[in-house]
């Protein structure tokens, strides 16, 4: 039978440790992915979970996986050459065509940087596709900073602001909540600026408030939602909010829709 | 086409069907009820008319025949995984008009939501024939008339039980079998046209309804036991579960098991996030799903008015009353 629950094997090509609990896995997979989509990742007998595709290219996908439970604990013990199981990709990604020729602001909190990493890399390689790009990335502490090498690389081509909620003796960068840095943004043309906001629920709520305060219209704001998901196919019901299924209709939503959703 | 069969003839008809079909109907399971000494009316295989309970509603709905409480999706061995063999025979289900509508709601989610149908559900669904049992008076908690689910034309055979005979209306597929055991007799199915309970569903939900004090009453009254979810013929949610075998940890299964939006853990995310921690919020979510959101997305209400949730709630919470209160506050807001 044509079974959408059937996962396929994908070999681990490389593992990069981002932080103590976040590893980026590069898997051999020929999926056709849009930035912002996710896959269902599994290990038979252990479990299955939705994970964003943080980057992709010819014959590979990357996922940045935080060790938090049953499946991810076991995933973190794997070595290159071993295999994981995936199915997907699922959901709607970021509407890159809407960003073309526009000013783009990306505000990412913590692991929220993962689903937008491929967007940032795309504009790193094709800077002419957007008018300007401004990344604001917030993390809890210096030890939680993800994609440190990429952040430096991106800073060569566009504006990158990294901040931590609380620094340490070695941290010389910005300290403070991301919302404070959003407040300080100077937008030459708010109505012509597109904004992506991804992160934990509270971070998204307050960041969006600041963005709206800068005069950006709600229809220019894009968010990505994380909800419990057991299928990715519109069947299990866990991801439902109102008449919306996050796995099918999201996880990326325009704020005009996302702002109406009440869990 | 109409037929009349005596009890003996009907039993012979059933015995004939049993060669090709598994036959499920409401059955009295002695001593299995919620209280000691009471019987549970539930779906079970039947062989004779006498076993089929016509005068009570089942506690659980027929959905468990299409959607098992726990269903294996894959078996894993060390190196391979395989799908379970679906060697199930065609199935006949004796059910009420509202239950037929409920299966249409399951179809909506499992076959039509998203662009991929669920193959496990489809496999079973394609093998099911409905034998609809006529409702003459209905039951105390029923409100199918308000939900528009009191009538259905979607049956293979429609039955009316009389004192010493059964009247049937059959689709062509089953007329030869009925003709073999009974005699032709004019019979037009009747449907219930009035329930003791009626509900008004909300037309439009204003944002204020989400935070309305109506819901907070259930923060303490509801105990989140989830019985209303498991007995509901239209609740479709499941959780994925992988297991390994104790005696051979290298082998195991991926299963899906029923889940319910009233039960703890339904929305839990890594990092300790969760949504709808208050039971009243879960009640709001469930109520809107059943009589607002589903319709917005698919065109029909999910709730079919079978009233089972009212029958099973240990806290005597009445869902039909919730629907009416919801409609009232929606009109006000
Ligand atoms: C669209 C989407 C994209 C996502 N993208 C990513 C991503 O890119 N990277 C990423 O790392 N995650 C991502 N996630 C989140 C990821 O799916 C979850 O973290 C997932 O739960 C991990 O599965 P697990 O089996 O390891 O954790 P689980 O075992 O399911 O644990 C989940 C939570 O339950 C708790 N828990 C576990 N066991 C117990 C127990 N015995 N008792 C009490 N509590 C317990 C854990 O503390 C944890 O908070 C995404 C989710 C969605 C919906
Ligand atoms: S709600 Fe009651 S009366 Fe209506 S079809 Fe169902 S069982 Fe019969
Ligand atoms: S059956 Fe009653 S108490 Fe139990 S979850 Fe449903 S409404 Fe709450
Ligand atoms: S993840 Fe199962 S319905 Fe969305």
Peptide bond into A89 cis (omega under 30): yes
- Alpha helix ranges (H) inside B134-174: 144-147
Q: Is residue B79 part of a domain?
A: no
Residues A4 and B14: their CA atoms lie apart, in Å, by: 37
Contact assignment for B294 to A237 by CB distance below 8 Å: no
Is residue A216 scored above 90 in pLDDT? Answer: yes
pLDDT score of A258:
94
Q: Is residue B77 part of a domain?
A: no
Residues B238 and B258: their CA atoms lie apart, in Å, by: 4
Is residue B90 scored above 90 in pLDDT? Answer: yes
Kind plus residue range of the DSSP H or E element containing A106: strand A103-109
User: Which ligand 1 atom is at minimum distance from the Cα of A74?
Assistant: 26
3 state DSSP class of B102 = helix
Q: Is residue B50 part of a domain?
A: yes
Strands B22-29 and B91-95: parallel
Q: How far from the centroid of its chain's Cα atoms is residue A79's Cα?
A: 24
* Distance from residue B269's CA to the centre of ligand 1 (Å): 6
Peptide bond into A240 cis (omega under 30): no
pLDDT score of B30:
84
| Residue where the block lists tokens 């007995």 | B231
Q: Is residue B325 part of a domain?
A: yes
Residues B138 and B239 in one domain: no
| Rounded average pLDDT over B157-182 | 95
Q: How far from the centroid of its chain's Cα atoms is residue A71's Cα?
A: 20
Residues B177 and B241 in one domain: no
Query: Domain end: B184, B217, B249, which one?
Result: B184
Residues B177 and B211 in one domain: no
pLDDT score of B331:
83
Comparing CA positions, the residue from B73, B114, B297 lying closest to residue A234 is: B114
Give yes or no for a contact between A208 and A221, defined as CB atoms under 8 angstroms apart. yes
Give residue A89's pLDDT band: very low, low, confident or very high (50, 70, 90): very high
In DSSP terms, B27 is beta-bridged to: B42, B52
Q: Is residue B132 part of a domain?
A: yes
Q: How many helices and strands, by DSSP H and E, does chain A display?
A: 8, 16
Nearest ligand, measured from the Cα of B316: 3
> Which one of B25, B53, B61, B98 would you pick to mutate in the ligand 2 pocket, going by the greatest count of ligand atoms within 8 A of its CB?
B98
Residues B11 and B131 in one domain: yes
User: From the CB of B192, is ligand 2 less than 6 Å away?
Assistant: yes
User: Which residue's CA is the closest to the ligand 1 atom numbered 13?
Assistant: A51
Give residue B8's pLDDT band: very low, low, confident or very high (50, 70, 90): very high
pLDDT score of B87:
67
Residues touching ligand 1 (Cβ under 6 Å) are: A 38, 47, 49-52, 63-66, 68-72, 111, 114, 226-227, 229, 251; B 268, 270-272
Comparing CA positions, the residue from A226, A225, A247 lying closest to residue A236 is: A247
CATH-assigned architecture of domain A96-258? 3-Layer(aba) Sandwich (3.40)
Is residue B12 scored above 70 in pLDDT? Answer: yes
Best of A74, A91, A237 to disrupt the B interface (most B CBs within 10 Å) is: A237
Nearest by CB to B244, from A42, A45, A228: name it: A45
> And the tokens for A252?
């990326």
Residues A99 and A128: their CA atoms lie apart, in Å, by: 11
Residues A217 and A192: their CA atoms lie apart, in Å, by: 9
| Rounded average pLDDT over B70-75 | 94
- Please report, for residues A110, A111, A211, A247, the alpha-carbon distance to residue A165 in angstroms, rounded to integers and kept in the order given: 11, 14, 19, 31
Residues B111 and B219 in one domain: no
Strands A159-164 and A132-139: parallel
Comparing CA positions, the residue from A137, A259, A70 lying closest to residue B268 is: A70
For A8-90, which CATH class?
A: mainly beta
Does the pTM of the predicted model rise above 0.90? yes
pLDDT score of B81:
83
* Closest residue in chain A to residue B253, using alpha carbons only: A45
> And the tokens for A155?
């800073």
Nearest by CB to A235, from B81, B113, B271: name it: B113
Report the binding-site residues of A for [2Fe-2S] cluster.
231, 236, 239, 247
| Rounded average pLDDT over A79-106 | 96
Residues B224 and B170 in one domain: no
Q: Is residue B75 part of a domain?
A: no
Comparing CA positions, the residue from A21, A55, A251 lying closest to residue A145 is: A21
pLDDT score of A1:
59
Report the mean per-residue pLDDT for chain B: 93
Query: Domain end: B169, B184, B199, which one?
Result: B184
Question: CB-hemisphere CA count at 13 Å for B270?
Answer: 16
Report the mean per-residue pLDDT for chain A: 95
CB of A261 within 8 Å of any CB in chain B? Answer: no
Residue bearing the bigger pLDDT, B333 or B2: B2
Is residue B333 scored above 80 in pLDDT? Answer: no
Quote the domain boundaries for residue B218.
207-332
Q: Quickly count: other Cβ atoms within 10 Å of residue A74's Cβ.
A: 15
Residues A47 and A74: their CA atoms lie apart, in Å, by: 10
Residues touching ligand 3 (Cβ under 6 Å) are: B 222-228, 262, 312-315, 317
- The three-point CA angle B160-B61-B52 to 5° equals 40
| Rounded average pLDDT over B171-190 | 95
- The three-point CA angle A32-A36-A38 to 5° equals 65
pLDDT (tens digit per residue) in B282-297: 999 999 999 999 999 9
Q: Quickly count: other Cβ atoms within 10 Å of residue B248's Cβ.
A: 10
Residues B220 and B295 in one domain: yes
User: Which ligand 1 atom is at minimum distance from the Cα of A239?
Assistant: 53
Residues A140 and B271: their CA atoms lie apart, in Å, by: 13
CB of A234 within 8 Å of any CB in chain B? Answer: yes
Residues B105 and B23 in one domain: yes
Q: How many domains does the structure of chain B reveal?
A: 2
Q: Is residue B54 part of a domain?
A: yes
Kind plus residue range of the DSSP H or E element containing A221: strand A221-224
Nearest ligand, measured from the Cα of A228: 1
Strands (E), chain B: 2-6, 22-29, 40-45, 70-76, 81-82, 91-95, 128-133, 157-161, 165-170, 183-184, 238-245, 248-258
Residues B213 and B126 in one domain: no
Residues A220 and B76: their CA atoms lie apart, in Å, by: 46
Is residue B101 scored above 70 in pLDDT? Answer: yes
* Closest residue in chain B to residue A3, using alpha carbons only: B119
Q: CA Rg, chain B, in Å?
A: 21
Residues B167 and B165: their CA atoms lie apart, in Å, by: 7
Give yes or no for a contact between A243 and A101, defined as CB atoms under 8 angstroms apart. no
Q: Quickly count: other Cβ atoms within 10 Å of residue A248's Cβ.
A: 20
Residues B293 and B239 in one domain: yes
pLDDT score of B271:
74
User: Which residue's CA is the closest to the ligand 2 atom numbered 4?
Assistant: B144
CB of B276 within 8 Å of any CB in chain A? Answer: yes
Residues B30 and B137 in one domain: yes
pLDDT score of B77:
86
Q: Is residue B189 part of a domain?
A: no
| Rounded average pLDDT over B328-332 | 86
Comparing CA positions, the residue from B192, B194, B127, B162 lying closest to residue B2 is: B162
Tell me how close the Cα of A143 comes to any Cα of chain B, in angstroms.
17
Kind plus residue range of the DSSP H or E element containing A224: strand A221-224
pLDDT (tens digit per residue) in A109-151: 999 999 999 999 999 999 999 999 999 999 999 999 999 999 9
- Please report, for residues A94, A203, A249, B286, the alpha-carbon distance to residue A253 in angstroms, rounded to integers and kept in the order given: 8, 16, 8, 23
Best of A22, A43, A44 to disrupt the B interface (most B CBs within 10 Å) is: A44
> Which one of B58, B305, B309, B311 would you pick to mutate in the ligand 2 pocket, going by the greatest count of ligand atoms within 8 A of its CB?
B305
- Count A/B contacts: CB-CB distance under 8 Å: 115
Residues B158 and B281 in one domain: no
Best of A38, A64, A205, A228 to disrupt the B interface (most B CBs within 10 Å) is: A228
Taking contacts as CB-CB distances below 8 angstroms, the residues of chain A near B74 are: 5-6, 44
Torsion on CA atoms B274, B279, B285, B289, rounded to nearest 10: 120
Classify residue A15 as exposed, middle or buried by CB count within 10 Å of its CB (0-12, 13-18, 19+): middle
Give residue B85's pLDDT band: very low, low, confident or very high (50, 70, 90): confident
Give residue A168's pLDDT band: very low, low, confident or very high (50, 70, 90): very high
Enumerate the domain spans of chain A.
8-90, 96-258
């Amino acid at each position: 039978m044509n079974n959408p629950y059937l996962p396929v094997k994908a070999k681990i090509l490389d593992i990069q440790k981002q932080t103590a609990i976040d590893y980026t896995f590069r898997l051999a997979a020929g999926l056709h992915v849009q930035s912002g989509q996710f896959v269902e990742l599994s290990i038979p007998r252990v479990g299955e979970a939705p994970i964003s595709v943080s980057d992709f290219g010819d014959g590979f996908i990357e996922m940045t996986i935080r060790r938090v439970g049953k499946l991810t604990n076991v995933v973190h013990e794997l070595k290159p050459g071993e295999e994981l199981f995936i199915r997907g990709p699922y959901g709607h990604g970021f509407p890159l065509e809407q960003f073309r020729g526009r000013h783009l602001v990306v505000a990412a909190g913590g692991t929220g940087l993962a689903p937008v990493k491929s967007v940032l890399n795309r504009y790193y390689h094709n800077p002419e596709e957007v008018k300007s790009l401004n990344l604001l990335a917030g993390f809890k502490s210096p030890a939680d900073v993800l994609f440190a090498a990429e952040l430096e690389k991106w800073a060569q081509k566009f504006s990158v602001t990294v901040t931590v909620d609380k620094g340490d003796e070695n941290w010389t960068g910005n300290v403070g909540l991301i919302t404070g840095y959003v407040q300080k943004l100077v937008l030459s043309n708010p109505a012509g600026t597109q904004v992506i906001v991804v992160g934990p629920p509270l971070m998204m709520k307050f960041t969006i408030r600041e963005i709206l305060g800068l005069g950006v219209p709600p229809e220019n704001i894009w968010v990505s939602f994380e909800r419990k998901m057991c299928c990715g196919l519109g069947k299990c019901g866990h991801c439902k909010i109102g008449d919306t299924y996050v796995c099918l209709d999201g996880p990326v939503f325009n704020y005009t829709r996302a702002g109406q959703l009440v869990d | 086409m109409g037929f009349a069969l005596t009890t003996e003839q009907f039993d012979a008809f059933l015995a004939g069907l049993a060669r090709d079909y598994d036959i499920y109907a409401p059955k009295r399971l002695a001593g299995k009820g919620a209280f000691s000494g009471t019987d549970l009316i539930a779906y079970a295989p039947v062989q004779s008319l006498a076993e089929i309970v016509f005068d009570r509603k089942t506690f659980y709905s027929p959905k468990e025949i299409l959607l098992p409480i726990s269903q294996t999706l894959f078996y894993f061995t060390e190196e391979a995984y395989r799908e379970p063999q679906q060697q199930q025979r065609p199935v006949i289900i004796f059910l009420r008009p509202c239950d037929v509508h409920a299966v249409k709601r399951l179809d909506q989610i499992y076959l039509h939501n998203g662009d991929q149908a669920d193959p496990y559900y489809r496999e079973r669904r394609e093998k099911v024939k409905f034998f609809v049992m006529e409702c003459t008076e209905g039951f105390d908690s029923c409100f199918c008339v308000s939900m528009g689910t009191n009538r259905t034309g979607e049956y293979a055979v429609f039955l009316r039980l009389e004192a010493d005979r059964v009247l049937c209306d059959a689709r062509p597929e089953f007329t030869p079998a009925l003709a073999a055991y009974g005699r032709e007799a004019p019979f037009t199915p009747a449907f219930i046209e009035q329930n003791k309970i009626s509900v008004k569903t909300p037309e439009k939900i204003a944002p204020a309804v989400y935070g309305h004090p109506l819901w907070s009453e259930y923060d303490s009254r509801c105990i989140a036991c989830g019985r209303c979810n498991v007995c509901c013929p239209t609740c479709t949610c499941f959780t994925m579960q992988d297991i390994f075998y104790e005696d051979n940890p290298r082998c195991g299964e991926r299963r899906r098991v029923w889940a319910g939006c009233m039960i703890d853990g339904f929305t839990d995310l890594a990092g300790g996030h969760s949504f709808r921690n208050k039971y009243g919020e879960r009640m709001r979510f469930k109520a809107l799903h059943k009589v607002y959101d589903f319709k917005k997305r698919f065109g029909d209400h999910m709730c079919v008015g079978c009233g089972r949730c009212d029958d099973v709630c240990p806290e005597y919470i009445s869902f039909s009353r919730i629907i009416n209160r919801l409609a009232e506050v929606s009109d006000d807001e």
